[in-house]
Copies of this chain bind each other. A is one copy, B any other.
Amino acid sequence: MRLGFSKLLTPFRIILTAYVIAMFVFSVLLFLPIASQPGVTVSYSEALFTSVSAVSVTGLTVVNVSETYSGWGVLFLALAIQLGGIGVMTIGTFVWMIFGRKIHLSQRMLIMVDHNQIAFSGLVKLMRGILAVAIGIEIIGALILGTYYLNYFDTALEAYYQGAFGALSAFTNAGFDVTGQSLIPFADDYFVQIVNILLIIAGAIGFPVLMEIREYLTSKDNNFRFSLFTKIAVSTYFIVLAVGFLGLWFLERNEYYDGLSWHQQLFFSLFNSTTARSGGLAVMDVSDLGLASLLLLSGLMIIGASPSSVGGGIRTTTLAVMFLTIRSFAMGRSDVKAFGREIHPEDRQKAFIVLSVFIVGLFTSIVLLAHFEDMQQVQLMPIIFEVSSAFGTCGLSMGITDELTQASQNTLMVLMFIGRVGLVAFLFSIRRREQKTYYKYPTERIIVG
């Protein structure tokens, strides 16, 4: 029996391959001499790390972008971020569309699985919508930030350059910066922070949510109903945001926040709670926070954003299904409900799998880094923080990434890659062809927990 090439190339494997190719191509571009500042030499492993971090829109860095990369370098970086953010496959299909070709079913499937989308209809429309919404938001953000930055920067060129890169980085949740120190210079500028928060949320809340909101606003249909996905994703997103906000304020009110004004406390808590969910931009050196806050931020990074968004983590819906299942069990129910709908058992199963795989991967990586760094006497907290940040493709950092051994940096690269591809897609890509079961084994109960 011959195994055909097309059988090996399942949609999920094509996506995986596309990401690998994109990461490789950009690593070469970022390694080119024209990409770096005069007099600065970038090693290939640094270029690869930057490329993986950019395509996976994580934002962890081993070099200072503004000091290392030239105009060309920043352009390559911006392209990598844009490509990663909107999705290699979305852009591929868009190009396909521009060339006027008819989209084949297999191509549709690609986008569907890349955005983890189940509904089949209107897929092409969805893709066109994604690009319109994404680029529209980025342009508006760039104009607002750029114009406002005229107060900060000497030339209009520099102001709009900073504004454009900042809007791209915030909306794609990439978390890269060309200021040299993230948003720390704007620690007291609440306008900049609010714009960034809104951009981060727009990118992290999930494209289907944005599309539904647009449809709701433009639709003449009075019976428009938001999908269960949108209801669960949005409510979970904001509940976690509120928990992070209150938690940070509670933990730091007598510590780091001691002596700060109420509005500074409010914005530090709000911005950190938002950025930890996948944004990766910083308005302060997070390593100044207490141990409990750093753990809380790690937890937020692990939870992450909505599926089908630029964010990562176990995703809001997984967390929601976890809690809904626990609640349903504690209430003596066998089905799991939310917003007058029942959660499909297969989705509960998927949530269990995502949670399990994430925890096993997270734990293994932390142990590996602790082992690799044992000689270097790196503390446990920064290790947990950077691993959570990489796996959740968040990009917040306690500043140790560039000091890590090569083995640790390689581990972080693998985590960013899997984190971006998504656990479900990753498992699907190693998955065998669906097996028809011709006989059923008898079921036997066991004792659990």
Interface residues of A, Cβ cutoff 8 Å to B: 116-118, 206, 208, 227-229, 232-233, 251, 255, 290-292, 295-296, 299, 307-308, 314-315, 317-318, 321-323, 325-326, 329-335, 337, 340-357, 359, 363, 366-368, 370-371, 373-374, 379-381, 383-384, 422-424, 427, 430-435, 437, 440-449
Contact = CB atoms under 8 A, between A and B. Distances in A.
Contacts of A444: 227-228, 341-344
Cβ-closest 7 pairs across A and B: A354-B449, A292-B371, A292-B370, A291-B370, A352-B352, A307-B447, A332-B434
B344 A443 contact: yes
**Binding site of A, secondary structure by majority: helix, strand, loop or mixed?**
helix
A323 B351 CA distance: 14
A296 B249 CA distance: 32
Q: Within the oligomer, what is the number of copies of this chain?
A: 2
A68 B135 CA distance: 71
Contacts of A233: 446-447
A347 B448 contact: yes
A426 to B, nearest CB: 10
Contact of A449 (B292, B326, B423, B448): B423
12 contacts: A229-B446, A232-B446, A233-B447, A290-B371, A314-B449, A317-B448, A323-B356, A325-B356, A329-B353, A330-B430, A331-B435, A380-B380
A13 B292 CA distance: 33
Contacts of A384: 380
Contacts of A295: 363, 366-367, 370, 380
